[in-house]
Structure 1
Amino acid sequence: MLRFLKVGNRSHFFFFSALQIRSVRVVVDVAGGERVDTSKPSFIHPAAVVHPNAVIGQGVSIGPFCSVSSSVKLGNGCQLFPGSHVFGSTELGDNCMLMTGAVVGDDYPGCTIIGNNNRIGYHAVIGVKCQDMKYKPEDECFLEVGHNNDIREHTSIHRSSKSTDRTVIGNGNLIMGSCHIAHDCKIGNNNIFANNTLLAGHVEVEDYVHTAGATVVHQFCHLGSFSFLGGGSVVSQDVPKYMMVSGERAELRGLNLVGLTRYGFSIEEIRSLRTAYRKIFMCVDGNVGSFEERLAEVEQHENLVHVPVVRAMLQSIRHSFAEDRRGICKFRHWNVS
């Protein structure tokens, strides 16, 4: 059986038996004339179907009943467990792991790029065409996934809906079982999506966002950094930075104090955020002004405006009221007078 291995700018062809463990020794010329041995054993099970044009890195393990298409590139140390599949123009970085039944990429135009050290769980489906009526089969569509993500069982992540956009997943995210990330979403870093979190198309998630189970997010919503979405919430508007929402139609429930403490925010920062939040969202007397007036008051507050986290929260709120945005989740009017 013919296998194709590409090293640097030079191509090498190797013949080997499908019944054997492949151990290929490749010596590469580097600057200064030094020759470096990059050999590592790779294993391709005889029951796997690997196209001869696929680019296979060193130390790759491909189990039985796997399939690897002609345009696929597998980085060094990748592991494909039995019954996992990589299709279309798809690139896996180094040390990626596909558990049994995982499917990455498809044969439609476009590509799926997966970074290093990603784990893709049992029967997850990553980088397939979107579920959007605007999609045209001839359009090139894209998915880009960063590094060190744990994508658990039965999760689905779709490519973009058009060639001018792309679905993007950052680094260090934990995406638990049966989550869905739709076309054109932009996901930042170090987020935690609990089981059955569903993100509709064009949702943007910043960093360190935590959703509880069965959370649903409407298309085009923005979730600010360090926010928390309670279990079973239906989020139809933006969640500003540092805030917590919950409810069948999610409402603001205060700051994500537990998350802020866990992520190392100082007591002074949290105190300033609480003061700003109360002034904007919690009525303390009967003469309180409109929401816009309260927001402007905090923006001009001589002590609060100089605190970076407060400025970030205010900016997050303001951006949610831009012309193409959905506004923020509703908040309860508390009257403690």
Structure 2
Amino acid sequence: MSWFLKRKPFSTLQIPPSLFHQLRFFSRLEQEHSLHLSNTPKPTFIHPSSIVHPNAVIGQGVSVGPFCSVSSSAKLGNGCQLYPGSHVFGSTELGDNCVLMTGAVVGDDYPGYTIIGNNNTIGYHSVVGVKCQDLKYKQGDECFLEVGDNNDIREHTSVHRSSKTTDKTVIGDSNLIMGSCHIAHDCKIGNNNIFANNTLLAGHVEVEDYVHTAGATVVHQFCRLGSFSFLGGGSVVSQDVPKYMMVAGERAELRGLNIVGLTRRGFSDAEIRSLRAAYRKIFMSVDANAVSFEERLTEVEQHEELGHVPAVHAMLQSIRNSFADKRRGICKFRHWSSS
């Protein structure tokens, strides 16, 4: 005990130079060994109770849990994880680091293919890439689904393949698709969208980027949802939603601009002021009953200031596209007074 009390503190201990260099050498060897282990791919693991066809292509570091199945024409990228009771059917390709939670089903034995990109999560008991529910689908026709990267598809969601050989269902990158959503045949989904629980998209719906739906939203077939738009909870959308706008209601109506969403996505104060001014002139004009909708659009397009703002131009183009041939027009709006 006396030795312990009298010994020098660690900070004053002197390490001989030769020992110091040896310690540095062994430390460097340890770092290099750790780096080598981190770069070494993990071994592939397939549980004995799972059925993986010998012709399936399995990447490095794949983990297949109990009671799973992988078809003969399936491809699993490096680092994929199949939790117990998940299945990969038909001509299906999973990119690297995809995760199938318990009960998830990806792909179908029908002609065509399902391609899933990298870093996607398929939630518990979700069904992705199966035959569509369109009665016009002809037995034996090829049908397709393509999904990008970094998507989080949550539990009990269904995503269907296309209804015909000349089309495909497409989902882009970095989308959050919450529980019990449905994306029907031939839909086109962009990037960075958020679909809250029980959002239902009928066939051929087009969703651009940064669209946010609240819960229990229903979208009619062939509708288009413009970028940065917001759909209120319980809305039934039967016509297009232009860019930057907010809709709500049992039969959805325009309720102004999605100011919160625009602010979060980095739109400047000047851009938002210009969009607000343009929205008022189009949808809240005092003499809205005296001047036609087309005339109000033209007035904003020819406005000395507003007509040169890119965001305003994009909004106007989105509105005009909705009235093109065979389009459904935009959601209804009230002729509110700007006063």
Report the TM-score range of the alignment, normalised by the length of the smaller protein: 0.7 to 0.9
Partner amino acid, structure 2, of 1:313: M
Deviation at 1:283, TM superposition (A): 2.3
In 2, the alpha carbon distance for the partners of 1:41 and 1:51 equals 18
Query: Structure 2 residue aligned with 1:194, among 181, 193, 196?
Result: 196
**Could you tell me which residue of structure 1 aligns to residue 17 of structure 2?**
none
**CA spacing shift, 1:39–1:176, aligned 2, 3 Å:** closer
Query: Structure 2 residue aligned with 1:301, among 300, 303, 326?
Result: 303
Partner amino acid, structure 1, of 2:49: A
Q: Secondary structure of the residue that 1:331 maps to in structure 2?
A: coil
**Could you tell me which residue of structure 2 aligns to residue 124 of structure 1?**
126
If you compute each CA radius of gyration, which structure gives the higher value, 1 or 2? 2
Partner amino acid, structure 1, of 2:170: V
In 1, the alpha carbon distance for the partners of 2:140 and 2:335 equals 50
In 2, the alpha carbon distance for the partners of 1:99 and 1:286 equals 53
Partner amino acid, structure 2, of 1:175: I
In 2, the alpha carbon distance for the partners of 1:198 and 1:332 equals 26
In 2, the alpha carbon distance for the partners of 1:46 and 1:287 equals 73
8 Å CA contact retained: 2:172, 2:191: yes
Query: Structure 2 residue aligned with 1:90, among 89, 92, 107?
Result: 92
Partner amino acid, structure 1, of 2:270: E
TM-score by length of 1: 0.88
8 Å CA contact retained: 2:288, 2:335: no
Deviation at 1:290, TM superposition (A): 1.2
Q: Deviations over 1:107-144 (max 9, x none)?
A: 00000000000000000000000000110121000000
Alignment of 1:47-86 (within 5 A): 47-86=49-88
In 2, the alpha carbon distance for the partners of 1:161 and 1:233 equals 26
Q: Tell me which protein shows more strand as a share of its residues.
A: 1
**Same amino acid, percent of matched pairs:** 85
Deviation at 1:335, TM superposition (A): 2.2
Worse-matched range after superposition: 122-131 or 291-300: 291-300
**Could you tell me which residue of structure 2 aligns to residue 222 of structure 1?**
224
Whether 1:237 aligns to 2:245 is no
8 Å CA contact retained: 1:49, 1:67: yes
In 1, the alpha carbon distance for the partners of 2:65 and 2:44 equals 11
Q: Secondary structure of the residue that 1:40 maps to in structure 2?
A: coil
Deviation at 1:172, TM superposition (A): 0.2
In 1, the alpha carbon distance for the partners of 2:338 and 2:77 equals 60
Structure 1: stretches of 5+ with no match in the other structure:
1-36
In 2, the alpha carbon distance for the partners of 1:254 and 1:231 equals 15
**Could you tell me which residue of structure 2 aligns to residue 159 of structure 1?**
161
Query: Structure 1 residue aligned with 2:274, among 265, 272, 275?
Result: 272
Partner amino acid, structure 1, of 2:320: R
Q: Tell me which protein shows more helix as a share of its residues.
A: 2
In 2, the alpha carbon distance for the partners of 1:75 and 1:164 equals 27
Partner amino acid, structure 2, of 1:269: E
Aligned residues: 301
Q: Post-superposition, which runs of at least 4 consecutive aligned residues in structure 1 deviate over 3 A?
A: 37-40, 285-288
Q: Secondary structure of the residue that 1:260 maps to in structure 2?
A: helix
Structure 2: stretches of 5+ with no match in the other structure:
1-38
Q: Secondary structure of the residue that 2:43 maps to in structure 1?
A: strand
Q: Deviations over 1:67-111 (max 9, x none)?
A: 000000000000000000000000000000000000000100000
Q: Deviations over 1:201-245 (max 9, x none)?
A: 000000000000000000000000000000000000000000000
In 2, the alpha carbon distance for the partners of 1:40 and 1:99 equals 20
8 Å CA contact retained: 1:285, 1:336: no
Query: What is the RMSD computed on CA atoms of the aligned residues?
Result: 1.2
Deviation at 1:302, TM superposition (A): 1.1
8 Å CA contact retained: 1:217, 1:235: yes
In 1, the alpha carbon distance for the partners of 2:329 and 2:315 equals 14
TM-score by length of 2: 0.87
In 2, the alpha carbon distance for the partners of 1:114 and 1:101 equals 17
8 Å CA contact retained: 2:171, 2:189: yes
8 Å CA contact retained: 1:102, 1:120: yes
8 Å CA contact retained: 1:109, 1:137: no
